[in-house]
Amino acid sequence: MAFAITQTCCADATCVSVCPVNCIHPTPDEPDFGRTDMLYIDPATCIDCGACADACPVDAIFPAGDLTGPLRVYEELNAEYYAGRDVLAEVSAAPNFHRWAPPAFERVLPSDFAPLDVAVVGTGPAGMYAVEDLLLHTNARVTLVDRLPVAGGLIRYGVAPDHPSTKKIGETFARFHDHPRLRLRLGVTAGAELAGRHDAVIFAVGATEARPLGVPGEDLPGSVPAATVVGWYNGHPDVEPDAVDLSAERVVVVGTGNVALDIARILTADPEQLAGTSIAPEALARLRSSKVREVVVLARRGPETAAYTRSELLALAARGDLVVDTHDPRIAAAIDTAEGKAAWLRGVRREQVDWSVPPPDGRRIVLRFHSAPVAFRGDTEVRAVLTSGEVEIPAGRVIRAAGFRGTAVPGLPFDEESGTVPNTAGRVAGLPGVYVAGWIKRGPSGGIGANKACARETIGALLEDAVAGRLPVRRRGVGARLRGRA
């Protein structure tokens, strides 16, 4: 019986490295890596050893025959990735399959390489992958800093509470908090001044500021950024327990990424099913008295370009309360004839929604494509969203989930247009010894696993600079030791 990878795959390729028969793809050295929503196990090659399941940090891998309910489809999805491929030919061409390569030692440090003192700012995935790399592959001493009083970053405060398996990767990261070469400092705000006290500093501070929509009325009361809602139901210390008002029957969420689906799912979920999760108690209490009956997920373009992943959509569709608004004939045509993301909606109920009437009884989520927001209307607070085509959707609340951008770090250069710190392979422009990793480095793209390769590139640049003597001399004698002269 083969194993199969399921919904919560973080795609950090931990499973790839332990597979004895090379049956998990795409691997980090293949073109598809980072372009697929998840990794896949070849059922024809898998020998059912279970090594991948033991290594998976998010409990995403199970024997295919044991999958039940909404996860049952993943046996087919894993096999589908390999369907129609000539394995022997592809081994030769190596786009998706490859023979085992000889060992590669990408980092060679001098035998007299002195321990580095490195500060890492941020305890989310990017920061913790950097910490893991430093502690496991070098003799560095690490100071891990976070402005919040609790470690975890995106894992603790960004992952939806009904995704407990995804949150489990936090346990993998937390084991490094007690490492003898790590000092953890929480509740500390840090900027470029750290560079004066360490050989190198890595900023992995994420990107949490809402990307502006640029439409009239987006700052009206009742228009809330997605980060506020996500922080609210996860108990983020910066978000007040009453930050989200659930007194409106209809809520519009602008955006079709996984965060938009998370918010729609939580706002329409049965509160009792959330009671056993990590949801903030105050948020659960408000959900129990919520008046929200309908959440409208608004997309500028068609279903073929939606930003959500297949696994997130499958989880949502499995509840049975998902509806596609077929107001535009292009929507049904794309679902019925197109491949890819549009085809994922073929089993979802369709309806041409009448926005002049209140939401129906019960709770539901409506996907409305080809509806760019033109303006948010209301006198003292949001009352409706005007979309392209002059359609007005009455809504008492609007949640802006159209993406994130980073914020400037004191003392570091900042690109306002991209919301990132200018860098080359993680090296901050004009500041030797200062590095970035994660979304503040590359922009808000990629899930948890994408940060592993990102952090690895940054650590590689840092070590290369240290060996070459390019790190500034922070303390007496440090530079000489790093260059092997003492």
Find, among 248, 258, 273, 272, the residue nearest to 226 by Cα.
258
- Averaged over 463-479, what is the pLDDT? 75
- Averaged over 189-204, what is the pLDDT? 91
What pLDDT, on the 0 to 100 scale, is given for residue 190? 85
Helices 258-268 and 310-317 meet at what angle, rounded to 10? 20
At residue 3, the 3 state secondary structure works out as strand
User: Mean pLDDT, the chain, as a whole number?
Assistant: 91
Alpha-carbon distance of 97 to 23, in angstroms, equals: 8
Q: Give the CA angle between residues 245, 249, 251 to the nearest 5°.
A: 65
What pLDDT, on the 0 to 100 scale, is given for residue 484? 35
List pLDDT tens digits, range 240-285. Answer: 999 999 999 999 999 999 999 999 999 999 999 999 899 999 999 9
Find, among 363, 258, 273, 360, the residue nearest to 314 by Cα.
258
Percent of the chain with pLDDT over 90: 80
What pLDDT, on the 0 to 100 scale, is given for residue 340? 85
Alpha-carbon distance of 118 to 191, in angstroms, equals: 14
What pLDDT, on the 0 to 100 scale, is given for residue 93? 46
Alpha-carbon distance of 29 to 461, in angstroms, equals: 19
Q: Mind spelling out the 3-state secondary structure of 169-229? A: HHHHHHHHHHCCCEEEEECCCCCHHHHHHCCEEEECCCCCEECCCCCCCCCCCCEEEHHHH
Task: Read off the DSSP letter of residue 445.
Answer: -
- Averaged over 441-448, what is the pLDDT? 91
Does residue 319 have a pLDDT over 90? no
Q: Are 263 and 230 in contact (CB under 8 A)?
A: yes
**At 48, phi and psi to the nearest 5?**
65, 35
pTM for this model (two decimals)? 0.90
Does residue 305 have a pLDDT over 50? yes
What pLDDT, on the 0 to 100 scale, is given for residue 481? 37
Alpha-carbon distance of 361 to 161, in angstroms, equals: 26
List pLDDT tens digits, range 337-382. Answer: 988 899 999 999 999 999 999 999 999 999 999 999 999 999 999 9
Does residue 142 have a pLDDT over 90? yes
Which CATH number among 3.50.50.60, 3.30.420.40, 1.10.3720.10, 3.30.70.1140 corresponds to the domain 215-402?
3.50.50.60
Does residue 425 have a pLDDT over 50? yes
Count the helices and strands in the chain (H runs, E runs).
17, 23
Q: Are 345 and 303 in contact (CB under 8 A)?
A: yes
List pLDDT tens digits, range 102-120. Answer: 666 677 788 888 999 999 9
Distances (CA, A) of 474 to 195, 197, 406: 8, 7, 28
- Averaged over 307-311, what is the pLDDT? 93
Does residue 228 have a pLDDT over 80? yes
CATH 3.30.70.20 assigned to 3-93: yes
Task: Enumerate the H helices of 269-350 as residue ranges.
Answer: 271-274, 281-288, 310-317, 329-337
Alpha-carbon distance of 277 to 449, in angstroms, equals: 23
What pLDDT, on the 0 to 100 scale, is given for residue 143? 97
Alpha-carbon distance of 400 to 228, in angstroms, equals: 10
Fold of 117-208+406-482: Rossmann fold (3.40.50)
Locate the domains of the chain by residue range: 3-93, 117-208+406-482, 215-402
